[in-house]
Structure 1
Amino acid sequence: MANYLKLFKLPDSFNFRRGGHIKQGVLAYETWGELNADKSNALLILTGLSADSHAASHGEKDTDGWWEYMIGPGTAIDTNRWFVICASSLGSCKGSTGPCSPNPDNGQPYRFDFPDLTLEDIAKSSVLLCQSLGIEQLECLVGPSMGGMTAMALLAQYPTYARHMINIASGLASPPFSTAIRSLQRESIIKDVNFNKGYYSAQQWPTEGMKFARKIGMLSYRSAEEWRERFPRSLKRAPNSPFDIEFPVESYLEHHANRFVHTFDPISYLYLSRAMDWFDGNAYAHSESSVLKAQLKLDSALVIGAHTDLLFPPYLQEQLAKLLSSVKTEVNAIITDSIQGHDAFLVDHTTFTDCVSDYLQNLRS
């Protein structure tokens, strides 16, 4: 993957929406396909909270990306046609500048000295990246989960920068249930004894807090309907000790927590999680000087949800589709029958391939 990872240097200094700035900031990004002569085939993917720039592999010898089935030659996002860009979000720990990056003023990690991060900041940095590649307008903007909210933050600031959008498992703002989930995740991390007000180390990592945060997250990423099929009670085993793991669903949560715990920086998780809860697209949509209603020039949009999604229920996609329709955007809203909940766009390959492929094939050649 390292051979394909590129770094874009943000302007020095990069100012944040809620105040503060960073110097020598970078975005780590990857691209697939070729940018055509008039630079009109650019497609930007904005990521979910824990995803990175490696959305797909670059060949047989490369590792699979987090959206491997969706991106590549002949796939739904066909890299024979599209020039695809995906960056690790500003504020993450996946190569882009974030709270765990060294502050150039003292060489120490920013930790909580990192400026308050918003999805508007992530969107702004992504546009600057695209502009550095000579892209004056995106042909298509794609955002699943947090990326869908970031897409709306992008359009609120740059209402003519994309001609089309695919918005998946997202909405204009987080509902109270989703905020409650993320609040508990943040609390579990901060209250871990090893968190130490952000001064943890690889040797004293807030392991239990991160594991618990991930388990809470998994409860909201998938659905009870799916788990009922996957984890029959007949598979339970005798625990090794009282109240140890006994049921298959417990093993599932433990497995995913252990996989995640050392792959993401705790403070980055806090910042990105809070940025999701801070974002309120309704403020842009319904204010007296609504940028989205007055200036948005989006030709068409595909809005996709799943009926089992707890984090971003279907009413949020319906609300978004209604807003886009009100500003004369041609909208196709699809609520799928996927049983995998919020994560359906990652695992229900057939359904989401069909939706995305059909939409992109109908855009101009």
Structure 2
Amino acid sequence: MMEFTPAGSLFAPLPSPYTFRDGRSIEGARIAYETWGTLNAQASNAILILTGLSANAHAAATDANPSPGWWEPMIGSGKAIDTDNWFVVCVNSLGSCKGSTGPASMNPDTGTPYRLDFPNLTIEDAADSATHVLEHLGIETAQVVIGASMGGMTALALACDHPHRVRHLIDVSAAATALPFSIAVRSLQREAIRLDPLWDGGNYTDESYPESGMRMARKLGVISYRSAIEWDGRFGRVRLDSDTDDDDPFGMEFAVESYLEGHARRFVRYFDPNSYLFMSRAMDWFERIEDLQRVQLDSALVIGVQTDILFPVQQQEQIAELLASSGAPTQFLSLPSPQGHDAFLVDYDRFIPAVRDYLHRL
């Protein structure tokens, strides 16, 4: 089974047994996290970052792991999330294979991985488990909770279910509920994995791994993470230099196909397929529209991207309206980035000022 814990990760134990929202419990569960900056004496300067589906807790370089993190331009001394002022905690989601307990983790009761015996994961489970990281660090309330994509859903669940844990919220490219299009895309991704014979009902091994299914799932994901405008600008109709292989007349011909293949191959051996299934389904199940009208936030910033097809900007506008109806002063930004859902990971010219300006006002 495939677990990929970044170097330098820290771990917060969950209560044992730990009970999920479906009523099932597991022993010895943990959440992986990393930190930056210094927690003040009042423990009042904490920012909690909640990750998307495939992200680990290594959001930025640390002394223990100096390699760049997935949000490196955003976090650090003098950056938008300024570690000279803030104590930043990034948690890897429950259910992941990046250090937190998930389907690829060993079940202490059986001595084998949980696989499909893992409890039915929900976004609320991810939010619940993140609060135990705060407790582990001696933090009663995070001044700011930040989440993007699936992490944005988790942040909304945390605000709904643990109102005393968060004062301010930055919610990025997320949704209060899953739309049919998003469900359809994720359903096809899960189907691609499950139809790979090597998935074997979740009983694959590192040697017998459903690579084809994961490749297809990742390609579908990447297509939905970016916009048609970006695909056209980056690749157009550029063809590959080599001629089509006579043995494979329908093989890759265009540069965009080669890009997708390379992206998929870099991913497939670095994420556990069963974790992908559980976390993907958790997003489809999420529904908190009514609850968001009753949150207790001091303020919120909601950011959407106009070219996002997976989490359309109308969904972020809806979140902002729901939060505002609860009485929380809420700012909504609709950014004209051409880079779709993944813009928060690449379009720093737009995202850095938005996050920096909001945090400076707190």
Q: Normalized against structure 2, the TM-score is what?
A: 0.96
Matches of 1:270 and 1:283 in 2, distance apart? 27
Matches of 2:130 and 2:150 in 1, distance apart? 14
1:28 aligned onto 2:27 = no
In structure 2, runs of 5+ residues without a counterpart are none
Deviations 1:313-333 (A, max 9, x none): 111011100011111111110
What is the aligned partner in structure 2 of residue 159 from structure 1? 163
Counterpart pick for 1:249 among 239, 250, 256: 256
In structure 1, runs of 5+ residues without a counterpart are 286-291
What is the aligned partner in structure 2 of residue 66 from structure 1? 70
1:137 aligned onto 2:161 = no
Q: Secondary structure at the match of 1:335?
A: strand
Matches of 1:56 and 1:280 in 2, distance apart? 31
Identity of aligned residues (%): 52
Letter in 1 for 2:244: P
Matches of 1:278 and 1:218 in 2, distance apart? 21
What is the aligned partner in structure 1 of residue 113 from structure 2? 109
Question: How far did 1:350 drift?
Answer: 0.8
Matches of 2:65 and 2:196 in 1, distance apart? 39
Counterpart pick for 2:285 among 273, 278, 282: 278
Q: Secondary structure at the match of 2:197?
A: coil
Matches of 1:283 and 1:209 in 2, distance apart? 36
Counterpart pick for 2:152 among 148, 163, 168: 148
1:260 aligned onto 2:267 = yes
User: Where do 4+ consecutive residues of structure 1 move more than 4 Å?
Assistant: none
Q: Normalized against structure 1, the TM-score is what?
A: 0.95
CA RMSD in angstroms, aligned pairs only? 1.4
Q: Secondary structure at the match of 1:301?
A: strand
Question: How far did 1:236 drift?
Answer: 4.0
Q: Secondary structure at the match of 2:198?
A: coil
> In 2 relative to 1, CA 150–2 (structure 1 residues): closer, same or farther, beyond 3 Å?
closer
> In 2 relative to 1, CA 2–309 (structure 1 residues): closer, same or farther, beyond 3 Å?
closer
What is the aligned partner in structure 2 of residue 333 from structure 1? 332
What is the aligned partner in structure 1 of residue 104 from structure 2? 100
Is the Cα–Cα contact under 8 Å of residues 34 and 57 in structure 2 kept in the other structure?
A: yes
Matches of 2:40 and 2:314 in 1, distance apart? 38
Matches of 1:16 and 1:359 in 2, distance apart? 34
Deviations 1:237-275 (A, max 9, x none): 322341111101101110110010000000000000000
Is the Cα–Cα contact under 8 Å of residues 70 and 353 in structure 1 kept in the other structure?
A: yes
Q: Secondary structure at the match of 2:167?
A: strand
What is the aligned partner in structure 1 of residue 345 from structure 2? 346
**Higher mean Cα deviation, 59-68 or 21-30?**
59-68
What is the total number of aligned residue pairs between the two structures?
355
Letter in 1 for 2:84: N
Matches of 1:323 and 1:141 in 2, distance apart? 17
**Higher mean Cα deviation, 196-205 or 240-249?**
240-249
Matches of 2:62 and 2:10 in 1, distance apart? 13
Matches of 1:247 and 1:2 in 2, distance apart? 34
Question: How far did 1:283 drift?
Answer: 4.6
Matches of 1:87 and 1:42 in 2, distance apart? 13
Matches of 1:69 and 1:240 in 2, distance apart? 42
**Higher mean Cα deviation, 236-245 or 118-127?**
236-245
Deviations 1:143-196 (A, max 9, x none): 000000001111111123211010000110111100000000000000101000
Q: Secondary structure at the match of 2:183?
A: helix
> In 2 relative to 1, CA 118–234 (structure 1 residues): closer, same or farther, beyond 3 Å?
closer
Deviations 1:1-21 (A, max 9, x none): 966311111100110001201
